[in-house]
Amino acid sequence: MMHERCILCGRDRLRQMRGYGRHKLVRCRDCRLVFMQQIPTEEELNTFYARYSYSQDPWISPITIRRYHELLDRFEPYRKLNRILDVGCGAGSFLKVAKERGWEVVGTEYSPAAVVLCKQKGIQMFQGPLSAAKAADASFDVITSFEVIEHIHSPHEDLDEIVRMLRPGGLHYCTTPNFNALARYWLRGDYNVIGYPEHLSYYTPDTLNKAMEMHGLRKKSCWSDGISLTRIRRSKPGKEKQPKIGSKEAPDEKLRELTESKPLWQLAKRAANATFRLTGTGYAIKGLWEKPE
């Protein structure tokens, strides 16, 4: 099956993206969202996501743990019900840190193995789509979504649920790869981020904010920053020999270690991220949106 209308604005003014034919990418002429026109079957999705292994707790960088604490510091002013939900929480690394800081934590995941792993960490879990959580209205202070929205071809369903479950004055934090990233302009159709049926929708800061605003969420901040050397290397010939994204051996981790420990590298990182934010061409989009009181 194929989408005949935009998955964001619902209009039928879709244009095939030149140079991305094998991916069946289209861009909406009205809202400018890019997405896969082909709709994956349940069988395709189940076959693909069966590759995700949760047989054991994955390695998590100490730098990532620090970033989690910094993010949770930003969430503190919203801590009234003391409840946080992470959509598509994977092995539960973020929620584990939140739980250690006293939050009541809830997660959702498709993988039965991931659900078991998270429950072992004391995380309340729901298996399946966000709607499977069946949480009460206005029952969370904060709802997070790390690298999830690009995996779905019906964003309105999840955003409806997020707004319903978020209390008035609560916060939604969302991250996703940036389609306007410099690496995508360079690598085009070979860019590792683009791939069916894993990533089905491709956002820019403007289109992500548009999606949130359509559901009544008010932007607090939205930006793009960073670069992924690992993604770039895994986009080129010989990618099967390259370290996996998120692994201890990945080039991204080596770069992060440098920028954390060397003052000159820290200055270079700040300068690069300032440019990425100004031009909207960083690797990842990160944003905070509030539900009006």
pLDDT digits (tens, 9 = 90+) for 63-121: 999 999 999 999 999 999 999 999 999 999 999 999 999 999 999 998 888 999 999 99
> Is 7 domain-assigned?
no
Q: d(Cα 225, Cα 271) in Å, to the nearest integer?
A: 11
Kindly indicate the confidence band of residue 53, based on its pLDDT and cuts at 50, 70 and 90: confident
> Is 2 domain-assigned?
no
Q: In terms of residue numbers, what domain contains 268?
A: 14-52+59-290
Give the pLDDT of residue 30.
98
The CATH number covering residue 170 comes to 3.40.50.150
> Is 9 domain-assigned?
no
Contact at 8 Å (CB) between 141 and 103? no
> Radius of gyration (Cα) for the chain, nearest Å?
19
> Is 8 domain-assigned?
no
Nearest to 104 by CA among 91, 123, 129: 123
pLDDT digits (tens, 9 = 90+) for 232-254: 999 988 877 788 888 999 999 99
Domains of the chain: total: 1
> Is 3 domain-assigned?
no
